Each structure stands twice: as structure tokens, then as C-alpha cells.
């Protein structure tokens, strides 16, 4: 992922929090705080046997942005949760899939005021239970 300012710092912070499938709740507080600072209304959607999805909305209508909170296990990655900036890239477990996306999304939301919806699901890397359980409220 290319790097700059706030997005870099948030992505590094997200990568530093281990969220292997089943451990996604570790990052929830940080993400919920950042989304609220972007003017989003945030709620949790329980997912049976897998924790909870994070749903956020601002205004009526707008695009739905959906990605996931979990990452693959470290496997042979030497320092998976110690993000490093090398040139114009952040190296660490989840930097490109999908914590970099989440950081960029939150940054864009903070720079805009239009309507938007966000769904951050759990268990994407294993069984997809967060996506299966996802219900976006209709108004």
C-alpha cells in the first residue's frame, strides 16, 4: 500500500493489532472511535459463533463500503504485527488485505460529508459467517 500521513499512521496502528479470524474484537474500539469521529453512527451486529460485524452510516443513501476485519494467521511472516514502512509501502499482516483499505476508507470519510454506509465483517478469511449474517437496515 502506498503511504502518506494520517492513512499511514492509522494503517500501521490497525496492522499492529492482531486480528486473526476469531480475534477481530481486538480492533473494534479503535475502528468505532475513528468512524464516530468521521460523523458516522456506529452499531454492532452480532454474528453467531463469530463475534460481531461493525456497521456505520451517515445520512440517507450513499454508497455501501464493505470489507473485513480479520487477517490470515502469521504463518512464516517474521514480524506480522510490527508494521514497517519500506519505501512507499507498509509491510505487515493485513496491510493490503484489508487494514490498509479500512484506513483509506476512514480517511476518505473524515474528508467528506456526504451520505455513506460501512460494513466491516468478521470471519471473512475462514467461513464467511460475517457476510452471511450481514443485514443492512433499510430506511
Please name each of the domains of the chain with its CATH number: 5-133 (3.40.630.10)
Distance in angstroms (rounded) separating the CA atoms of residues 95 and 100: 5
Q: What is the pLDDT of residues 110-121, one digit of tens each?
A: 999 999 999 999
| Structure confidence at residue 137 (pLDDT) | 77
CA angle, 42 as apex, 113 and 73 as ends, to 5°?
110
Grade residue 3 by pLDDT with cuts at 50, 70 and 90. Answer: low
| Statement: residue 133 has pLDDT above 70 | yes
Active-site residues, by number, are: 70, 124
Q: What is the pLDDT of residues 14-45, one digit of tens each?
A: 999 999 999 999 999 999 999 999 999 999 99
Amino acid at each position: 500500500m502506498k503511504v502518506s500521513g494520517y492513512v499511514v499512521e492509522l494503517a500501521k496502528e490497525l496492522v499492529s493489532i492482531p486480528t486473526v479470524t476469531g480475534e477481530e474484537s481486538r480492533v473494534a474500539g479503535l475502528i468505532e472511535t475513528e468512524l464516530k469521529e468521521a460523523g458516522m453512527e456506529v452499531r454492532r451486529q452480532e454474528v453467531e459463533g463469530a463475534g460481531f460485524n461493525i456497521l456505520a452510516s451517515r445520512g440517507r443513501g450513499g454508497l455501501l463500503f464493505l470489507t473485513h476485519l480479520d487477517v490470515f494467521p502469521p504463518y512464516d511472516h517474521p514480524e506480522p504485527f510490527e508494521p514497517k514502512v519500506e519505501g512507499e509501502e507498509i509491510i505487515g499482516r493485513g496491510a493490503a488485505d484489508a487494514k490498509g483499505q479500512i484506513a483509506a476508507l476512514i480517511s476518505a470519510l473524515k474528508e467528506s460529508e456526504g451520505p455513506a454506509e460501512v460494513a466491516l465483517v468478521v470471519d471473512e478469511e475462514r467461513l464467511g459467517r460475517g457476510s452471511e449474517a450481514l443485514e443492512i437496515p433499510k430506511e
